Structure 1
Amino acid sequence: MRSVRFLSPLLLCAGLSQAPASLADEFGSCLARLQPQAAAKGVDAASYRRYTQGLQADLSVLPLLDAQPEFVTPLWDYLAGLVDDQRVADGKAMLAQHGELLDRVARQYQVDKYAVVAVWGVESDFGRIAGKRPLLTSLGTLSCYGRRQAFFQGEFFATLKLLQQGDLRDAGITGSWAGAFGQTQFMPSTYARIAVDFDGDGHRDLVGSVPDALASTANYLSKAGWVPGQPWGFEVKLPASFAESQAGRTKRRSVADWKAMGVQRADGGPLPSGDTRAAILIPTGKAGPAFLVLRNYDAIYSYNAAESYALAISLLSDRLRGGPGLRTPWPTDDPGLSRAQRKELQKLLLARGYAIGEPDGMIGDNTRRAIQAEQQRLGLQPADGRAGQKIFNAMQAAH
């Protein structure tokens, strides 16, 4: 089918209040043109009409295509909020609460239970935050507007088919802006291929069933090539002669080769056997932490193709296992804040009279504008609205 061409997202958003009827007609026409493609994917005409009738475009998802935090947030900020003491404590509580279940999942799929719980924690804060955007609205909009329309059309059709088959029973189900949903945030096509009914109730329910969600995540990692009994990797120390051009997830050598070059574990422990293939990552350059990563890191990376995401899962799994965290500091004089510190910063901003809403640890536009104003007042440069240790410490001292 011919691709649908529209105005730019910014022009569309600007015109939304001026011509809602034409936008609704335009979106409805797009959905009508997509129906034959949905039929080819197994969505019958009656189901298509049922689930798309009255659907309205939500153009607010379009700017998010180019604003994913994995790619636009400094790594030390990204990890500070995802791998903090609160998430580690909550993860250990989940390991205790669901210990028998996790042991069964680990045995059946031969996957590390700490990695599974780390995915659960990062993706939805252990089921607490799974996204508030209606899936059909977001995926329908992204199927008709913006870039990557073909990809989102596939996910839209997969969602419709899951509803038609009864795997999903609520057409108003919500998730992320891009269509990921459930306790471990599967995309609909991944749900269709990978989700399992681990609690035996006859439905694959990654929204309401913890057993289904955790087992499905383990199944995903297993199919992605997880190697039983092998770690994801280690923090390492590099020799002074190491060239940054030698680093990269796809630039693999045997561990014996890396040892011969002088690579050592940061904690002094032994590296794996010499013929194991591994790569070196230096995500913030040689001045920051370095990692030797094995095959299981790739399995984690496939879950969400971003180095920052894969590191978050890997480092959180180590903390859940009882590890101490990174030994090498990030190369910055202004490290990121944990969620608890972000909430405290918001409380300090509220005390200064900024109308930023309830402190929730989420740094939105109102909080950023307030931080920028305080940075200017306190003479901190750059006045960029970033929530870091410098503004946090300065506001604590001033308070």
Structure 2
Amino acid sequence: MLSRFPVRKLSLAVIACSAAMVMATPLPAFADAGFQRWISQFRSVAMQNGISGSTYDRAFRGVSEPDPEVLEKARYQPEFRAEAWEYFDNRVQQDTIETGRRMARQWKPWLDRIERQFGVSRYVLLAIWSIESNYGEVLKNERVMRSLPRSLATLAYADKRRAKFARQQLIAALKILQTGDIDVGHLTSSWAGAMGHTQFIPTSYQAYAVDMDGDGRRDIWSSVPDALATAANLLRKNGWRGGETWGYETAALPSGRKFPGGKMALSRWQSIGVVRANGKPFPRPSDTAELKVPDGRAGPIFLVTKNFDVIKRYNNSDKYALAVGLLADEIAGYGGLVRDWDRPFERLSYSETEELQKRLGALGYYDGPIDGKIGSGSRDAIRAFQARSGMQQDGHPGKEVLRRLRSN
């Protein structure tokens, strides 16, 4: 994900700042003097960690002030807990499924090789690619992607909560630059340091990056084979079980009963009434699984297996791992959910959601991308339209809102 921090702990020595060293050259009038001093001081720390002076200077040439957008995003991290339907509707929908199938055809020769070498499902890799960078489309957005050295230096200098993380990642990023895997002009990331098609932070890149296309560089920014193989390598090294699923949707739980937590064999779950939603038997009844009820008993319910836990090594979130698994199954053609999310409105299709955004834009409520994804901008626009129309101001992108917009 574009703005996450690592959930897997990768050890590096704690970096201590060296004594102050004032730059000899005068600062430009627009420069942040404190930031420039920090860059100057950190140079010796980087060199103590194996970074050459020329690499460091190349990384920071022309960088004279913190990135204000990085600071804004770092300050504005609301504790927004998306409803289950809201999280999944933006990630598992018509466009992401169809694009995933097209990418499966386009990259089939490479996916064949990656699957043979690492034993990881191509559909899981495609789902990760979709969720992390919209199949690489995010990398083309200059409003999202920015200079990695500047972003991390900004966090290290101005964000006390993230300073240690940012210093650690900056050293790792400079090592990536020094190896020649990428040049400084293409060493870009999200505001928090996630890089490339599959959004690896620098320390994770160091641990898992793969030169799949054989050009001598581990380039997850412009080489799709390298990026997908790197994701596959992470999953394999964290215990991915080839040929096995991530989990199963189950039928509704019998009412009036409590079910145990923890992991049990699938055969044991079945014996106490937890069965597959499609009525089929579990193909590997001896596998252990854990019950997940992300949307309460009114929504879909899952038994998740070892590979679900492995996906969480990529991002330690049940919702993330479920989104990857569900999208992967859809791309593969296994079908979608038997039981839909418990949403309080009638869901729009992808094309209808785009129409909703266009109509809100035409009325002056919305100025964001027409992408079929409902984010905070779309919700605010819906609420504003609902207020003008005398509707309940819940911000839900339902069919009733679209009907009202069409009548306008």
Aligned to 2:357: 346
> What secondary structure is seen at the aligned counterpart in 2 of 1:265?
coil
User: Is the alpha carbon distance of 1:317 and 1:391 closer, same or farther for their aligned partners in structure 2, counting shifts above 3 Å?
Assistant: same
Deviation at 1:93, TM superposition (A): 1.1
Aligned to 2:49: 41
Aligned to 1:60: 69
Aligned to 1:8: none
Are the counterparts in 1 of residues 90 and 374 from structure 2 also a CA contact under 8 Å? Answer: no
Q: Percent identity?
A: 39
Which amino acid in the other structure matches residue 57 of structure 1?
Answer: P
277, 282, 286: which one pairs with 2:297?
Answer: 286
Which amino acid in the other structure matches residue 59 of structure 2?
Answer: Y
> TM-score, with normalisation over the residues of structure 1?
0.85
Aligned to 1:218: 232
Which amino acid in the other structure matches residue 339 of structure 2?
Answer: T
Are the counterparts in 1 of residues 181 and 217 from structure 2 also a CA contact under 8 Å? Answer: yes
Residue 198 in structure 1 maps to residue 212 in structure 2: yes
The gaps in structure 2 that reach 5 residues or longer are 1-14, 19-27
Distance between the aligned counterparts of 2:350 and 2:344, measured in 1?
19
Aligned to 1:136: 149
Residue 307 in structure 1 maps to residue 318 in structure 2: yes
User: Is the alpha carbon distance of 1:72 and 1:153 closer, same or farther for their aligned partners in structure 2, counting shifts above 3 Å?
Assistant: farther
**Which stretch of structure 1 is more off in the superposition, 21-30 or 173-182?**
21-30
> What secondary structure is seen at the aligned counterpart in 1 of 2:184?
coil
Deviation at 1:273, TM superposition (A): 3.5
Question: 1:130-177: CA deviations, max 9, x gaps?
Answer: 242222222111122221321122111111111111111134532222
Following superposition of structure 1 onto structure 2, how do residues 218-257 of structure 1 map, counting pairs within 5 Å? Answer: 218-237=232-251, 238-243=253-258, 246-247=260-261, 251-257=262-268
Distance between the aligned counterparts of 1:264 and 1:374, measured in 2?
44
User: Is the alpha carbon distance of 1:112 and 1:85 closer, same or farther for their aligned partners in structure 2, counting shifts above 3 Å?
Assistant: same
Distance between the aligned counterparts of 1:349 and 1:397, measured in 2?
10
Aligned to 2:334: 323
Aligned to 1:94: 103
Question: 1:342-382: CA deviations, max 9, x gaps?
Answer: 3211211133244626634465665444322211122222x
Residue 150 in structure 1 maps to residue 164 in structure 2: yes
Which amino acid in the other structure matches residue 157 of structure 1?
Answer: I
Distance between the aligned counterparts of 2:42 and 2:282, measured in 1?
53
Following superposition of structure 1 onto structure 2, how do residues 365-384 of structure 1 map, counting pairs within 5 Å? Answer: 367-381=378-392, 383-384=393-394
Deviation at 1:337, TM superposition (A): 5.3
Which amino acid in the other structure matches residue 243 of structure 1?
Answer: K
> What secondary structure is seen at the aligned counterpart in 1 of 2:290?
strand
Aligned to 1:17: none
User: Is the alpha carbon distance of 1:369 and 1:277 closer, same or farther for their aligned partners in structure 2, counting shifts above 3 Å?
Assistant: closer
**Which stretch of structure 1 is more off in the superposition, 177-186 or 338-347?**
338-347
**Which stretch of structure 1 is more off in the superposition, 170-179 or 362-371?**
362-371
Deviation at 1:206, TM superposition (A): 0.9
Residue 259 in structure 1 maps to residue 273 in structure 2: no
**Structure with higher helix content:** 1
Deviation at 1:68, TM superposition (A): 6.5
Following superposition of structure 1 onto structure 2, how do residues 61-76 of structure 1 map, counting pairs within 5 Å? Answer: 61-65=70-74, 72-76=81-85
Aligned to 2:288: 277
User: Is the alpha carbon distance of 1:112 and 1:67 closer, same or farther for their aligned partners in structure 2, counting shifts above 3 Å?
Assistant: farther
Deviation at 1:22, TM superposition (A): 9.6
Residue 110 in structure 1 maps to residue 124 in structure 2: no
> What secondary structure is seen at the aligned counterpart in 1 of 2:137?
coil
Deviation at 1:393, TM superposition (A): 3.0
Distance between the aligned counterparts of 1:350 and 1:48, measured in 2?
45
Distance between the aligned counterparts of 1:365 and 1:320, measured in 2?
27
Which amino acid in the other structure matches residue 387 of structure 2?
Answer: Q
Following superposition of structure 1 onto structure 2, how do residues 154-165 of structure 1 map, counting pairs within 5 Å? Answer: 154-165=168-179
User: Is the alpha carbon distance of 1:369 and 1:166 closer, same or farther for their aligned partners in structure 2, counting shifts above 3 Å?
Assistant: same
Aligned to 2:184: 170
Distance between the aligned counterparts of 1:51 and 1:370, measured in 2?
41
Are the counterparts in 1 of residues 379 and 397 from structure 2 also a CA contact under 8 Å? Answer: no
Which amino acid in the other structure matches residue 47 of structure 1?
Answer: T
Which amino acid in the other structure matches residue 145 of structure 2?
Answer: K
Distance between the aligned counterparts of 1:264 and 1:332, measured in 2?
24
Corresponding pairs, count: 378
Are the counterparts in 1 of residues 17 and 45 from structure 2 also a CA contact under 8 Å? Answer: no
> What secondary structure is seen at the aligned counterpart in 1 of 2:249?
strand
User: Is the alpha carbon distance of 1:24 and 1:242 closer, same or farther for their aligned partners in structure 2, counting shifts above 3 Å?
Assistant: farther
> TM-score, with normalisation over the residues of structure 2?
0.84
Distance between the aligned counterparts of 2:52 and 2:58, measured in 1?
10
Deviation at 1:264, TM superposition (A): 0.5
The gaps in structure 1 that reach 5 residues or longer are 5-19
Question: 1:1-26: CA deviations, max 9, x gaps?
Answer: 6689xxxxxxxxxxxxxxx9798122
Are the counterparts in 2 of residues 239 and 261 from structure 1 also a CA contact under 8 Å? Answer: no
> What secondary structure is seen at the aligned counterpart in 2 of 1:179?
coil
Deviation at 1:52, TM superposition (A): 2.3
Deviation at 1:231, TM superposition (A): 0.2
Distance between the aligned counterparts of 1:43 and 1:364, measured in 2?
40
> What secondary structure is seen at the aligned counterpart in 2 of 1:288?
coil
Distance between the aligned counterparts of 2:275 and 2:380, measured in 1?
44
Are the counterparts in 1 of residues 345 and 396 from structure 2 also a CA contact under 8 Å? Answer: no
Distance between the aligned counterparts of 1:365 and 1:315, measured in 2?
24
Aligned to 2:309: 298
> What secondary structure is seen at the aligned counterpart in 1 of 2:313?
helix
Deviation at 1:73, TM superposition (A): 2.6
